[in-house]
Each structure stands twice: as C-alpha cells, then as structure tokens.
Amino acid sequence: MAATHRKAIVLVSVELFSALGVSLDVRNTLLVPILALVFSAFSYALVQPSADACLNGMIMEQDEAVKNVKLAEKALLEGDNAAAHRLLEADHYMVSSKPLMNRIRALKAVANLRRGKTKNVVRVFRTLLKKDKDNPYLLTRLAEALHKRRGKDAVQAWGIINDLEKRDLIPDAHGYAVLARLRRRAKDLKGYRRAIEQCSNMAGKNAWICS
C-alpha cells in the first residue's frame, strides 16, 4: 500500500473513530490494514443506498414503451392528461428507436402543457422540430403551447397554425381549437366559425376540446 494512501486512511479513520469517542494510537502500523478494511466498509455503506436507488428506479423497456405510447395518445384524446403522463413516466428508458423516444418526449410535453405545467414544453417542441421541421403534429403542438401568450409568441402561433390550415395539415381537433381561439381574438368571426366547425367534426364525442 502506498505511503500516501496509508496516511490518508489513518487520518480519516482517526477522525471517524474520534467522532465516535474512540482514540487510536496512529504509531501502531498493525492498525493500518484494519483501518483500511473499516474505512472501505464505511465508504460502501455511504455509497450503496444511492446505487440501490438507481438500480431500483423505474425502467421502461421498448415493448412496454410502444404499448404505453398508444395508451397515452388515447388518454390525451380523452382529456386524461395526468394518466397520459403517468403512462410515460420512467427514470430510465431502454428504447433503441429514436423516433419512439422522440414520440415519448413529445407526448410527455403535451401532457404537461395541458395540465398547466408549461415550463420547458416550448423548448421540447422546438428541439424536436430542429430534426423534423415540417412535422405537422409538432408544429401544431408548438402553436398550442404559444397561442395563449402575447406578443411575438402569439404571432408565431398564428403564423404556424394559419399556414397549416392553408395546406390542410392541421392533424387534430386541438389544432383547430387553437386556430378558432386565435381567430376569435383577431375578431375574425367567419374564420372562427369555420375553425369551430372543423374542430367539432374531428373531435366527435370529445366536443369539449372545441369549447
């Protein structure tokens, strides 16, 4: 054992035992291996709980993720945003598919957005759009996240959703609900009614989306 290591073990162990009310004779070299063993055991005891917590964290594997994504999409459609978030919550994802992982990130952001937990959701959508800039779903969700704001964010939301409507690319009732709110804010009553009609057609039994 190197001299510096022996010295460090002795000094730390002396402090440890002193805290416990036990005095040690540091001149006794036979104590060094014993102190090393005690110090190692003490260090392991400190580190082990955090290691166990990591190992015991919730892990979602790929098959489960595929199933839960479908269930979360259904929950979001039915307005159960908390359930959607719970379905996708995990400490670690054993997912090899990047598109699937990106879908999970997007759906978790949507669930948070609709629960009023808006911190970071805009950043999530912008990040995902960097790799898929023309994705109608992600663009619609970004507009949904921005449209209740004022200033340049509201202007960007209007630009996004208006462009998607012109190209007939709004993917769902929530998107038309965003369009309707923006048109009502702009006092475009004709456009508002048209957007509400489209929203109702797509919402079906979930008419609350358009309110």
pLDDT value of position 30: 53
Mean pLDDT of 90-95: 87
DSSP for 162-204? HHHHHTT---SHHHHHHHHHHHHHTT-HHHHHHHHHHHHHHHT
pLDDT value of position 18: 57
How many angstroms from the chain centroid is the CA of residue 76?
Answer: 16
Q: Which residues is 94 bridged to in the sheet? A: 61
For the whole prediction, is pTM greater than 0.75?
Answer: no
Q: Which residues is 59 bridged to in the sheet? A: 92
pLDDT, tens only, 134-173? 999 999 999 999 998 889 999 999 999 999 999 999 999 9
